[in-house]
Amino acid sequence: SMPKACPNYPLYVNDTSFLNGDVIANRQWILDNVYANNQKKDTFAIAAASDYFVKLIIKTKNGCVDSTTKKIIVNDYPTAILGIRMTDSCYKNNSVRFLNGSKTSFGLLSGYKWLYSNGDTSIQQNPTRSFKDSGLYNVRLIAYTEGGCDDTSAAKPFRIYSAPYPTASVVDSAV
């Protein structure tokens, strides 16, 4: 599988090369024409979302040289955007639809997690929920890219109102 990362997170590389009867004299890591050190393991910091190529060049003590190149996708952070559509805000038979408008400028969105202040969660893209009690609730949305980058929206409040309990009496008019 292709390695994936997020901007401003370290990208770790590891030389797992093997030799038969020779010794590595030099190794060089190259990330999009930026040279790194001669270490078996190295770390790159990538600031922008894009496709990158990491190249490892190995030179043995006997002068043999070979290389390998790996593509790395650095996904952008998504922007978690949520909306709420309430078809009935009274707690009796209420139905609240949560709308996901999340987006990303590079990479693909891969998942969502809704966090409700009553402790419930949902992983649906656009969930519809009912609430059994009246009161003020908050919801947050976490959006994920396929590279594991995430963003959490600000809490958005909504209210479920108490339903009235109608009662009636009939007064005898013959009195």
Q: What does DSSP say about strands 24-31 and 34-35: parallel, antiparallel, or unpaired?
A: antiparallel
pLDDT in tens, the chain (175 residues): 566 788 888 888 889 988 888 899 999 998 877 766 678 888 888 888 888 899 999 999 999 999 999 998 888 999 999 999 875 677 677 889 999 999 999 888 999 999 999 999 999 999 999 888 888 999 999 999 988 899 999 999 998 888 777 888 888 877 6
Q: Nearest-CA neighbor of 116 among 68, 160, 150? A: 160
Name residue 43's beta-bridge partners.
12
- The reported pTM is 0.75
Mark residue 68 as left, alpha or beta (left: phi above 0; alpha: psi -120 to 50; beta: remaining): beta
Contact indicator for 4, 147 with CB cutoff of 8 Å:
yes
Closest alpha carbon to 163 in 137, 132, 136, 138: 132
